[in-house]
Amino acid sequence: MSQETYELKAEARERVGKGSARELRRNGLIPAVIYGDKQAPIAIALNTNEVTKRIHAGGFMTTVATIEVDGKKYKVLPKDYQLDPVRDFTMHVDFLRVSGNTQVTVAIPVHFINEDKSQGLKVGGVLNIVRHEVEVHCPADAIPEFFNVDLSGKKIGDSIHISEVTLPKGVTTVIDRDFTIATIIAPAAGIDESAAEGEAEA
C-alpha cells in the first residue's frame, strides 16, 4: 500500500447541483460522491483542509480510506478529483466503494535505483524516462506503493522494459505487451571519452 489507510468524517448532502456545491465550498467543505459496488451513489461533503492535506501528502489515488457518514463507515478508493484551474483548490472528489475482492485500476509511480551502478550514466549518458507511472489492475487491498527499476549495469543504448520489473502477486499491467519504461541515451554533447575508457578498464 502506498501509505497507511486513513479515515475521514463526512456529512450526507441533501441537495446537489452547482448552487449547493458553491455554498459548501464557501463553508470550507468539498462536495464528493461515493459510488460503485452495485449500490446507489451517496452525495457527501468533506472538510476541505483534511482532503487537501491528504492529496498533498502523496499516494492519494492509491490509498484505500474509510469515510464515516452519519455513523456508517465505507471503505473507498479515490478515483478522481477536480482542482480549480485558477486557484488550485479541490472542487470535487469521486470515491469508489471497495471490498477485499474489489479489483481496481491504478497508476503506480516508478522509482529508478542504482543510477551510480549504470555504466551508461557514469560516462555521461542520460536516463530518458518513457513512463513515470505504470497503470495496473490489482486488488484494492494490495495496491503497490511504487515499482523499483534497477539501473545496475545498464549501458548507453539499453532499454528497460516492464518484464524486468517484478510485479506483486495479483498485479497485472493494463497494457498487454512488454512496453518500455526508460532508455539510456547518449548525451547531446557526446560521450565523455576519458570516463568511458576508465569504465572499460574497470
- Measure the CA angle with vertex 47, ends 21 and 96; round to 5°: 75
State residue 194's pLDDT score: 52
Q: Tens digit of pLDDT for each residue in 79-108?
A: 999 887 777 778 899 999 998 778 999 999
**111 vs 133: CA distance, rounded Å:** 9
User: What's the Cα-to-Cα distance from 79 to each of 17, 95, 98, 106, 202, rounded to whole Å?
Assistant: 20, 6, 11, 9, 49
- The DSSP annotation for 74-108 comes to EEEEEEEEEE-TTT--EEEEEEEE--TT-EEEEEE
Tell me the three state secondary structure of residue 22: helix
> pLDDT band for position 202 (50/70/90)?
very low
Q: What is the pLDDT of residue 197?
A: 53
pLDDT tens profile 43-79: 999 999 899 889 888 889 999 999 999 899 999 999 9
DSSP state of 176: -
How far apart CA 23 and CA 172 sit, in angstroms, is 42
Task: Give mean pLDDT, residues 149-169.
Answer: 95
To the question of domain 104-201 being in CATH 3.90.1150.10, the answer is: no
Q: Look at residue 89 in the predicted model and tell me its pLDDT.
A: 77
Please state, rounded to an integer, the average pLDDT across all residues of the chain. 87
What are the domain boundaries of the chain?
Answer: 6-99, 104-201
**CA–CA distance, 153 with 96 (Å, rounded to integer):** 42
Fold of 6-99: Ribosomal Protein L25; Chain P (2.40.240)
